[in-house]
Structure 1
Amino acid sequence: MGILDGKTILVAGVTMNTSIAYSVARIAAEQGAKVVVSNFGRAMSLTNRVIQKLDPVPPLIEVDVTDPEHLASLPDRLSEHVDHLDGVVHSIAYANPETAFADGFLTTEWADVAQSLQVSAYSLASLTMACKPLFSDSASVVGLDFDNQVSWPVYGWMGVSKSTLQSVSRYLARYLGPEGVRVNLVAAGPLDTLAKRAIPGSETFNEVWADRAPLGWDTKDYDAAGKAVVALLSDWFPRTTGEIVHVDGGMHSTGA
């Protein structure tokens, strides 16, 4: 028996097998869940190839979190594969790599900032509310985070978006808690994902973690964060909501 036996989970944002979302989808299935994955646009073909490695191969649906029609039709399209949802994993973030990262913070135009905030933070709320009609008596929403208690080099407006994501998760926890919905984040350390490679100068993070993480850090250990997400999706955290679980080798707890 697995800790997700009988549960149905949507994992939104699976793109590569070198990602936390992919690890979540694989581990959740190993732990007994029925998994549905999503992506959108040109990435759909890549996702479709990648998920063929999973057993069983999960259904793939298209969800563009910036498209109101996609969100409005999501319950009906999910219902073609599952009759309810017990959990949602939000692995979605974007900022224009040419303007919103590195040294462009002071000159980034609002259009690029707005896009980053909508895709990376607001979508946690919009996706959750789109899925809500399928929630059972209790449900768990887990977002993927990079802790932004402090400013970071090169991270720019994505750092602001992650701070916003953290606030969105707390307010969702506040308003959805009475309906049995838990909302938490997993803040992972830097991993060699497609998203990280899009950030100019992101190798800086690897150097910081290698020097300061008490438990050490492996930039290719996607399963460490994946297991934390699956644990939060399970019934083993029945009274935990509005929380940020750090899976970063302990780096968040250390000073200079």
Structure 2
Amino acid sequence: MGILDGKRILVAGVTMDTSIGFAAAKVAQEQGATVLISNFGRALNITKRIAKRLPVTPPVLELDVTDADHLAALPDAVREHVDGLDGVVHSIAFGNPETLLGGKFLTGPWDDVAQAVHISAYSLKSLAIACRPLLSAGSSLVGLTFDATVAWPAYDWMGVAKAGLESTARYLARDLGPEGIRVNLVSAGPLKTLAAKAIPGFEELDSMWAGRAPLGWDNTDQIPTAKAICALLSDFFPATTGEIVHVDGGYHAMGA
């Protein structure tokens, strides 16, 4: 038996098999869940191919979390495969690396900043509201952040977007809690994902972990993060919401 036996989970934002979303879908299936995944645009065909690498090939839905029509159609699209959802994973973020990252904080233009905040933070609320008709008491929404309590090298406006995501999660926890829906985030250390490769100066950020994380850190291993996500999707955290769970080898707790 797995901790997600009988659960129906949507993992929104799966592109490559190196992504945290893919790892979360894999662990969720191994723990007994029925999983659906999503992507949109040109990446959708990539996702459909990558989906075949999961233990069970899941349905792949088209979902752009910034498109009102896609969000409105999501409940019916999900119901073509399952009659409801017990959990949702928000594995979605974007900031233009040419204008917002790698030391461009002071020059980042508003239009690109607005896009980053929309996709990376506001979309958590959009996805939650779109899925709300499918969720019931005991359901869980889990998003992914990168500790936004401090300023990081190279991360710049994505750090601001993640701060917005973290605040959004707390307000969602407040407003969806009376319906029995939990909202939490997982803050992972730096991982070599497709998104990380787009960050100019990622190597500098990544190099800080090796000597400081007391448990050590493998930047190619998404499974610890995926397991934390699945734990929060399960019934083992029934009274936890508005929380940020760090999966970073303990780096966040060290002063030097």
Q: What TM-score range do you get, normalising by the shorter chain?
A: over 0.9
| 2:137 partner SS | strand
| 1:94 partner SS | coil
| 2:97 partner SS | coil
In structure 2, the residue matched to 1:178 is 178
List per-residue Cα deviations over 1:30-50 (Å, max 9, x = no partner). 111000000010001111111
Structure 1 CA distance, aligned partners of 2:136 and 2:103?
A: 45
How much does 1:55 deviate? 2.3
In structure 1, the residue matched to 2:229 is 229
RMSD: 0.7
Structure 2 CA distance, aligned partners of 1:64 and 1:2?
A: 31
How much does 1:157 deviate? 0.3
How much does 1:107 deviate? 1.2
How much does 1:102 deviate? 1.4
Structure 2 CA distance, aligned partners of 1:16 and 1:98?
A: 22
How much does 1:19 deviate? 1.3
| 2:52 partner SS | helix
Amino acid at match of 1:251: Y
How much does 1:137 deviate? 2.6
TM-score (norm 2): 0.99
| 2:169 partner SS | helix
Consecutive unaligned residues of structure 1, counting only runs of 5 or more, are: none
Amino acid at match of 1:9: I
Q: How many residues align?
A: 256
Q: Is the 8 A contact 2:7 2:32 kept in 1?
A: yes
Amino acid at match of 2:64: D
How much does 1:91 deviate? 0.2
Structure 1 CA distance, aligned partners of 2:137 and 2:233?
A: 14
Structure 1 CA distance, aligned partners of 2:142 and 2:197?
A: 23
How much does 1:245 deviate? 0.2
How much does 1:18 deviate? 0.7
Structure 2 CA distance, aligned partners of 1:211 and 1:159?
A: 23
| 2:241 partner SS | coil
Q: Where do residues 34-73 of structure 1 align in structure 2 (5 Å cutoff)?
A: 34-73=34-73
Q: Where do residues 236-251 of structure 1 align in structure 2 (5 Å cutoff)?
A: 236-251=236-251
Q: Is the 8 A contact 2:10 2:89 kept in 1?
A: yes
Consecutive unaligned residues of structure 2, counting only runs of 5 or more, are: none
Amino acid at match of 1:20: I
Structure 1 CA distance, aligned partners of 2:224 and 2:56?
A: 22
In structure 2, the residue matched to 1:81 is 81
List per-residue Cα deviations over 1:193-222 (Å, max 9, x = no partner). 000000001011221001211111000110
Amino acid at match of 1:6: G
Structure 1 stretches of 4+ moved >2 Å: none
Identity %: 63
Structure 2 CA distance, aligned partners of 1:211 and 1:3?
A: 34
Deviates more, 1:152-161 or 1:102-111: 102-111
| 2:115 partner SS | helix
How much does 1:123 deviate? 0.3
Structure 2 CA distance, aligned partners of 1:110 and 1:36?
A: 34
In structure 1, the residue matched to 2:151 is 151
Structure 2 CA distance, aligned partners of 1:217 and 1:205?
A: 13
Q: Where do residues 120-199 of structure 1 align in structure 2 (5 Å cutoff)?
A: 120-199=120-199
In structure 2, the residue matched to 1:31 is 31
| 1:137 partner SS | coil
Structure 1 CA distance, aligned partners of 2:18 and 2:234?
A: 23
TM-score (norm 1): 0.99
List per-residue Cα deviations over 1:139-180 (Å, max 9, x = no partner). 100001101111011101000000110000000000100000
Structure 2 CA distance, aligned partners of 1:213 and 1:137?
A: 37
